[in-house]
């Protein structure tokens, strides 16, 4: 069981016993991050300790750099990130805001203020981790922390280092299949079903029109194979993201044609799992051409 504790100051920390502390931001909890938790779990099991994490609600970039809207976007929504951390063996999750107070702390001050409060016996960090206003490296932690520091080398595939940056780029490029490989699971997007113009129903391809519920990255415009979870049951479908250019649509749409499903689900919260990209958004010269293409898309998605 994971215990999630929002903290404003070190006084909010209430750790019962010594911990193996994992430090990082963990947007996406990708395969590289999961290696840290595997190692932390092994150490915790050997030393009979619990695994704890101190991380941030939002990216530190929001405090350190000039604002742009993308800084508020996440790979996973907060609940999904917590679920993945729980599955990775985290028992105590401390969530804090990266405020100016935190940003102005030196690495030593952060260790003295927060790390000691969680009774860290061992710290596990990635090779490229840095800490404090003085930007101390992972290796520097060994000099300012009294316990053991374990530095985990990069996890790589044939394209290089697995990182949150790569995951984000895959998503915005529409390469959701590779994003799933890097994340260790398909990318989820949560939405609420709303009324659209019902045009899909008139051509035999009714869609659930969705409004995104979270500040998460969306795949590039196109048509995708997806699974959609409705009331805890999973259905196959195909999703389209972007403007309905065949009908001269001007608004960005997010809609899913759900296979073998014929229920009214307006107002339902659903989760779409992105499996693979089928094609770009294309403007067709006629409705018949569109329907022919949708039939082809469906065959691909069902397979």
Every domain of the chain and the residues it spans? 3-161, 186-302
What is the rounded average pLDDT for all residues in the chain? 93
Question: Is residue 128 scored above 90 in pLDDT?
Answer: yes
Cα 281 to Cα 274: distance, rounded to the nearest angstrom: 16
Q: pLDDT grade, residue 1 (50/70/90)?
A: low
Q: Which residues, 6+ apart, have CB-to-CB distance to 82 below 8 Å? A: 2, 4, 93
Give me the mean pLDDT over the 233-260 stretch: 85
Angle at 116 between CA 111 and CA 119, to 5 degrees: 140
Say if CB 17 and CB 49 are below 8 A apart: yes
Q: Kindly report the length of the chain.
A: 303
Residue 246 has pLDDT above 80, yes or no: no
Q: What is the pLDDT of residues 175-226, one digit of tens each?
A: 999 999 999 999 999 999 999 876 667 788 999 999 999 999 999 999 999 9
DSSP-derived pairing of the beta strands 222-230 and 120-126: unpaired
Token pair 């799992």: residue: 273
Cβ-count burial of 143 within 10 angstroms (0-12 exposed, 13-18 middle, 19+ buried)? exposed
Q: What is the reported pLDDT for 10?
A: 75
Taking only the tens place, the pLDDT of each residue in 140-170 is: 999 999 999 999 999 999 999 999 999 999 9
pLDDT at 104 over 80: yes
| 73-92 confidence digits (pLDDT tens) | 999 999 999 999 999 999 99
Lowest average pLDDT, out of 41-55, 205-219, 232-246, goes to 232-246
**Who wins on pLDDT, 15 or 176?**
176
Report which of 52, 59, 2 is spatially closest to residue 25, judged by C-alpha positions.
Answer: 59
Task: State mean pLDDT over 245-258.
Answer: 76
Does residue 293 register a pLDDT over 70? yes
- Residue 198 has what pLDDT? 67
- The reported pLDDT for the residue numbered 17 is 82
Q: Check if 3-161 and 186-302 are the same fold.
A: no
**Under CATH, which architecture does the 186-302 domain have?**
Beta Barrel (2.40)
CA 99/CA 8 separation, integer angstroms: 10
pLDDT at 251: 77
User: What's the mean pLDDT in 59-82?
Assistant: 95
Give the chain as a 3 state SS string. Answer: CCEEEEECCHHHCCCCCCEEEEECCCCCCCHHHHHHHHHHHHHHHHHCCEEEEEEECCCCHHHHCCCCHHHHCECCCHHHHHHHHHHCCCCEEEEECCCHHHHCCCHHHHHHHHHHHHCEEEEEEECCCEECCCCEEHHHHHHHCCCEEEEECCCEECCEECCHHHHHHHHHHCCHHHHHHHHCCCEEEEEEEECCCCHHHHCCCCCEEEEECCCECCCCCEEEEEEEEECCEEEEEEEEEECCHHHCCCCCEEEEEECCCCCCCCCCEEEEEEEEEEECCCCCCCHHHHHHHHHHHHHHHHC
User: What would the mean pLDDT of 257-273 be, rounded to a whole number?
Assistant: 96
Q: Which CATH class is domain 3-161?
A: alpha beta
Number of alpha carbons in the 13 Å side-chain half-sphere of residue 241 = 23
pTM: 0.92
222 contacts 236 by C-beta, under 8 angstroms: no
pLDDT-derived band at 248, boundaries 50, 70, 90: low
């Amino acid at each position: 069981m994971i215990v999630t504790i929002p903290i404003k100051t070190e006084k909010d920390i209430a750790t019962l016993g010594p911990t193996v502390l994992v430090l990082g931001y963990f947007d996406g909890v990708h395969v590289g991050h999961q290696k840290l938790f595997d190692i932390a779990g092994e150490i915790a099991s050997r030393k009979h300790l619990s695994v704890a994490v101190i991380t941030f609600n939002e990216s530190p970039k929001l405090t350190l750099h000039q604002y742009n809207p993308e800084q508020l976007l996440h790979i996973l929504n907060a609940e999904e990130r917590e679920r993945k951390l729980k599955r990775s063996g985290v028992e105590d999750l401390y969530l804090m805001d990266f405020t100016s107070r935190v940003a102005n702390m030196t690495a030593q001050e952060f260790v003295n203020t927060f790390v000691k409060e969680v009774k860290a016996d061992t710290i596990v960090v990635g090779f490229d981790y840095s800490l404090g206003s003085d930007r101390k490296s992972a290796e520097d932690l060994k000099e300012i922390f009294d316990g053991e520091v374990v530095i985990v080398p990069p996890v790589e595939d044939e394209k290089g280092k697995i990182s949150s940056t790569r995951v984000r780029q895959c998503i915005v490029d529409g390469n959701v299949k590779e994003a799933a490989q890097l994340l260790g699971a398909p990318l989820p997007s949560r939405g609420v079903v709303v009324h659209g113009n019902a045009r899909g129903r008139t051509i035999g391809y009714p869609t659930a029109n969705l409004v995104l519920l979270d500040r998460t990255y969306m795949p590039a415009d196109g048509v995708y194979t997806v699974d959609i979870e409705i009331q805890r049951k999973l259905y196959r479908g195909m999703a389209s993201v972007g403007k309905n250019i065949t009908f001269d649509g001007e608004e960005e749409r997010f809609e899913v044609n759900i296979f073998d499903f014929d229920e009214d689900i307006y107002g339902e919260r659903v989760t779409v799992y992105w499996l693979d990209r089928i094609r770009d958004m294309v403007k067709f010269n006629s409705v018949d051409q569109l329907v022919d293409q949708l039939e082809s898309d469906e065959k691909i998605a069902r397979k």
